[in-house]
Amino acid sequence: TVRFVLDCDTGSDDAIAILAAAGHPGLELAAVTTVNGNVAVEHATDNTLRALDLAGARVPVHAGAARPLVRPDLPVPRAVLNKDSAFQKHGLGLPEAVSAAREGHAAPFLAAYFTDPAHAGDTLVATGPLTNIALALALEPRLVERIARLVVMGGAHGNGNVTAAAEFNFWADPEAAEAVLSAGLREVVIVPLDATHSAPLTGADCAALEALGTPGALASAQLVRHRLDHDRASASHDPSSPVHDPMCVAYLVRPDLFTEAVAAHVAVETAGARTTGQLLVDTRPWRDEPANATVALRAAPEVYREFLHEALG
């Protein structure tokens, strides 16, 4: 089995990532840390606990950063950004949690977890802004050697989703994203919008999940339906929605998920007038810097579906 820690800002697609992680026989979710992003960190923590309880998973949860690394807050208030913030703030339609978060901030937890020799070889998956991970690296610089692999949902090689240049997770905390990507970690895999938008889910996927009938599948189907209804307003055809975060988890057991990927030198813009939070994917053969990440560019929808069925069924 692949053992990993998930750092997330739950969020509806983060919740599906948690449900899938808890259900897949090839995965061991060792801990979850939460961060300010989609919702304020206390809501991300509450949503995380709800998803874990629903899945019947006893996994330690540590709450982390309440604001970005350097900036006082998100560049645009959440309520302006996200018309769906009430749903995200009030539990995502999941039953109330009975379990509670552990004592201790996420960043020192991550530092201690990944310096423990018993956890050599574990993966860190990040599906929110990278604030906690930047803080953990600042606290414990040896993490660059100790984290065997970091898989990140963030960035876009083509257009972003918050601005033309920037995807939400990197836009929400560009300094943290830049600090983490430039830290010199052993293995970094980036799952940007290019990959997640290439395998969106549809109403037929929801029906197939519902047919599985498990609590995790039913909850996931409801969350995807919610995303579809939300995206329907802008859709001119049968709606489909990218369900970003579970792809990072899927990749751990289905490395065949990504059908196109490039090794590149990646960096995040922190000072652009129009481009703050942009992921730069430098594949020029004559560039000065060596590759520091693998960037997934396309995913196989059928592999993603197979993963979701195996994880949620």
Q: By CB under 5 A, name the one of 12, 127, 198, 278 that touches Ca ion.
A: 127
Is residue 11 reached through a cis peptide bond, with omega within 30 degrees of 0 on the bond before it?
Answer: yes
Q: How far is the CB of 72 from ligand BDR (least distance, A)?
A: 20
Q: CA–CA separation, 61 vs 21, rounded Å?
A: 14
Given a contact cutoff of 8 angstroms between Cβ atoms, the answer to whether 192 and 298 are in contact is no
Choose between 9 and 122: whose C-beta lies nearer to Ca ion: 9
169 is a contact residue toward ligand BDR (CB under 6 A): yes
Q: Please name the residue that has the structure tokens 């993963």.
A: 307
Interaction between residue 242 and Ca ion (CB under 5 A): no
Q: Which stretch binds ligand BDR (CB under 6 A): 92-100, 144-152, 161-169, 289-297?
A: 161-169
Do 279 and 155 touch, CB atoms closer than 8 A?
A: yes
Q: How many residues bind ligand BDR (CB under 6 A)?
A: 12
Catalytic: which of 62, 226, 244, 265? Answer: 244
Nearest Cα to Cα of residue 251 among 290, 298, 183: 298
Minimum distance of ligand BDR from residue 184's CB (angstroms): 24
**4, 109, 168, 304: which one binds ligand BDR (CB under 6 A):** 168
> Which partner, ligand BDR, Ca ion, none, binds residue 197 by CB below 5 to 8 Å per kind?
none
Q: Which one of 7, 14, 178, 269 is in contact with Ca ion (CB under 5 A)? A: 14
Specify the residue, 15 or 185, whose C-beta has the smaller distance to ligand BDR.
15
Q: Is 244 a catalytic residue?
A: yes
Q: Which of 33, 34, 36, 38 binds ligand BDR (CB under 6 A)?
A: 38
User: Minimum Å distance from CB 65 to ligand BDR?
Assistant: 15
Q: Is 132 in the site for ligand BDR (CB under 6 A)?
A: no
List 43, 50, 62, 244, residue binding ligand BDR (CB under 6 A): 244
Interacting residue with ligand BDR among 7, 46, 122, 167 (CB under 6 A): 167
Q: Which does 48 bind (CB under 5 to 8 A by kind): ligand BDR, Ca ion, none?
A: none
Q: Could you say which of ligand BDR, Ca ion, none residue 161 binds, taking C-beta under 5 to 8 angstroms by partner kind? A: ligand BDR
What HEC string does 122-184 produce?
CEEEECCCCHHHHHHHHHCCCHHHHCCEEEEECCCCCCCCCCCCECHHHHHCHHHHHHHHCCC
Name the CA radius of gyration of the chain, rounded: 18
Q: Tell me how far, at minimum, the Cβ of 117 lies from ligand BDR, in Å.
A: 31
The residues of the shown chain that bind Ca ion, judged by CB under 5 A, are: 9, 11, 14, 127-128, 245
The residues of the shown chain that bind ligand BDR, judged by CB under 6 A, are: 11, 13-14, 38, 127, 153, 161, 167-169, 244-245
Q: List the catalytic residues.
A: 244
